[in-house]
A and B are shown apart, each in its own frame.
Chain A
């Protein structure tokens, strides 16, 4: 089954404790992306990657890091989480090109206290 898998689904952590949210896709997609979703703000793009070892900033990259060492994986790293990073996070993947459907993971609800 074609899917994007995120882990964990839920996470409560404390300020400053480094964490990683994993994302893996099994569709051999070149393009992967991370979004955060906050009430009234829709989905905002954090980082994206066009292929292995190629990443770039989205609209809200501050406080986040990513890596793309393998095509299927695109982890999101919060080196020193802060309460304003409490949010619902989605990973998505798609083939490169126009008119392509993005496939989203089930989301990770992160709370930073």
Chain B
């Protein structure tokens, strides 16, 4: 089947850089997405990697390596407002989307 694994929690200091990893098992997929969700809120789209390599969007970057079945989300210049849950998601191409269980990021002052 298809599955994704993420760490359940990550803690980092304001102003630092943090990397949230996502490993996956799948027979094929179109791309890997990342979403942010604040407590009580809806998931919001951050990035999408269709090809191997790094995609940069402001303070956030996302990376994909298909050969390693691995991706990560990199958050730079951490701010308190970045405290949230982060989900990786597989675009399976068959109109199904498979989400990881999420990583809760705590940013400390």
Contact = CB atoms under 8 A, between A and B. Distances in A.
A81 interface: no
A110 interface: no
Contacts of B42: 90, 104-107
Interface string B28-50: 00110101000001111100101
A98 B33 CA distance: 11
Contacts of A99: 31, 48, 50
B27 to A, nearest CB: 16
A48 B91 CA distance: 13
Nearest to A49: B95
Interface stretch (B10-18, B66-74, B96-104): B96-104
Interface in B84-109: 87, 89, 91, 93, 95-102
A101 B45 contact: yes
A14 to B, nearest CB: 25
Contacts of A45: 96-99
Contact of A102 (B8, B45, B100, B102): B45
Contacts of A102: 33, 35, 43, 45, 97
Interface of A: 31, 33, 35, 40-45, 48, 50, 56, 58-59, 90, 92, 98-107
Q: Which 9 A-B pairs have the closest CB atoms?
A: A104-B42, A101-B45, A42-B101, A43-B99, A42-B99, A99-B48, A104-B43, A42-B102, A98-B30
